[in-house]
Amino acid sequence: MTSTPRYQAPALKKGLEILELLATAERALTMSDISGALGRSVGEIFRMLQVLEEHRYIARDDDGYRLTNRLFALGMGRPPVRDLTVTAVPIMHGLAHATGQSCHLAVASGAEMVVIAGVEAPGLSGFAVRVGYRRPLHRSASGRILLAFQSPGVRDALLSEIRAAGGDPEAETLLPRLDALAVAGDSVTPSPVLDGITDLSAPILEHDAARAALTVPFVAGRTARASLEETRALLRDAVRAISGQLQPTLD
């Protein structure tokens, strides 16, 4: 490979830079914000913003430009992802009903895990992770499950993605932890985001590799319909059921 791209498409490059910037922004960005962040003049990006807005990839309000869910919807429409969610969601509803907890389905996207489906806890209260939520693979229960249940080559490639994105996977401590998860078959860890929540996560397997991770952010209390250990067992049953239904379509 060479450092110089074989083909040049300046307009496409500007459009992709804008989409990637808005995807990581925590708030709406003005045209001046985008111009400054990308090191491009307002004139360079003005037309690109108009085209992206016209095609509904971005939207504008009083605060600036935001990414819409159009790219997410296009990705979700791909047959492998659609098959996964169509199979998993009914089983996730059963898991939520049996445990009184929410659950969410995550897949790897570059150096991050991204939530592609979720089911809220039954009842009037509960904790749920929104669809589209992202977090570095090595910093989440779902992400570590996705890393743990991979071949060495795929795992190394994902760790390289993390490093390329500016993350430090701290391989000397992470790799033994991943190996232990692979032996255990699932993960039980305190939530890194909120106190009082225990993340239970297990892999949905495709030929012994994790295609996705199903996670229950377990909240103890009167709304819980099962103990933590009972919920863990039900989660394992759920991922086995999803994996079993997917396998015939993959062989």
Q: What is the mean pLDDT of residues 143-165?
A: 90
Q: What is the pLDDT of residue 249?
A: 45
pLDDT at position 167 is: 83
Max alpha carbon distance in the chain (Å)? 61
DSSP string, 63-75: TEEEE-SHHHHHH
Kindly tell me if the per-residue pLDDT of 14 is higher than 80: yes
Interhelix angle 31-38/42-54, rounded to 10 degrees, is: 120
Residue 124 has pLDDT above 80, yes or no: no
Please give the domain boundaries of the chain with CATH numbers for all domains.
10-68 (1.10.10.10), 74-250 (3.30.450.40)
Average pLDDT over residues 181-188: 96
- Indicate the pTM of the whole model: 0.72
pLDDT at 90: 95
Can you tell me the mean pLDDT for 204-214?
Answer: 91
Whole-number pLDDT of residue 62: 86
CA pair distance 68, 14, nearest whole angstrom: 18
Closest CA to 210 of 178, 163, 234, 233: 178
82, two tokens: 């659609």
Measured CA to CA, the distance from residue 11 to residue 15 in angstroms comes to 6
Main-chain dihedrals φ then ψ at residue 54, nearest 5 degrees:
-60, -35
Residue 157 identity (one-letter amino acid): A
- Summarize the confidence of residues 63-90 as an average pLDDT: 75
Residue 79 has pLDDT above 60, yes or no: no
Residue 87 has pLDDT above 60, yes or no: yes
Mean pLDDT of the chain: 87
Give the model's pLDDT for residue 179.
Answer: 95
Residue-level pLDDT at 150: 92
Confidence (pLDDT) at 251:
42
Residues 17-42: pLDDT tens digits?
888 888 778 788 999 999 999 999 88
β-strands 134-136, 187-190: how paired? unpaired
Q: How far apart are CA 219 and CA 227, in angstroms?
A: 10
pLDDT at 8 exceeding the cut of 60? yes
129, 121 contact by CB (below 8 A) = no
pLDDT at position 107 is 92
